[in-house]
Structure 1
Amino acid sequence: MAFSLFNRHPQEVLTSTEKEQIVEAIRQAESRTSGEIRVYIESHNKYVDPVDRAAEVFFKLKMEHTADRNAVLLYVAVKDRQLAIFGDEGIYQRTGSMYWNGLVKKILEHFNQQHFATGISEYIHQIGEGLHQYFPFDRATDQNELPDDIVFGS
Structure 2
Amino acid sequence: MFSFLNKKPANFLTDAEKEQVVNAIRQAETRTSGEIRVYIERHCRYVNPLDRAAEIFFSLKMDQTKDRNAVLLYIAVKDHQMAIFGDEGIYKKTGREYWENLVNRILQYFNKENFVEGICEYVHEIGEGLRKFFPYDKETDHNELPDEIVFGY
TM range (shorter): over 0.9
TM-score (norm. length: structure 2) = 0.97
- Give 1:81's aligned residue: 80
RMSD of the alignment, in Å? 1.0
- Give 2:94's aligned residue: 95
Deviation at 1:6, TM superposition (A): 3.6
State the AA in 2 paired with 1:63.
Answer: M
Deviation at 1:11, TM superposition (A): 1.0
Structure 1 segments of 4+ aligned residues over 4 angstroms from their partners:
none
Deviation at 1:46, TM superposition (A): 1.2
TM-score (norm. length: structure 1) = 0.97
Q: SS in structure 1 opposite 2:92?
A: helix
Gaps of 5+ in 2: none
- Give 1:27's aligned residue: 26
Q: SS in structure 2 opposite 1:104?
A: helix
State the AA in 2 paired with 1:72.
Answer: V
State the AA in 1 paired with 2:3.
Answer: S
Give the % identical residues. 66
Paired positions, count: 152
Q: SS in structure 1 opposite 2:32?
A: coil
The answer to whether the 8 Å contact 1:55/1:86 transfers is: yes
Mapped partners of 1:148, 1:85: distance in 2? 16
Does 2:98 correspond to 1:136?
Answer: no
Gaps of 5+ in 1: none
The answer to whether the 8 Å contact 1:5/1:114 transfers is: no
Cα deviation, 1:19-73, whole Å, max 9, x if unaligned, reads 0000000000000100000000000011010000000000000000000000000
Mapped partners of 2:33, 2:27: distance in 1? 12
Deviation at 1:7, TM superposition (A): 3.2
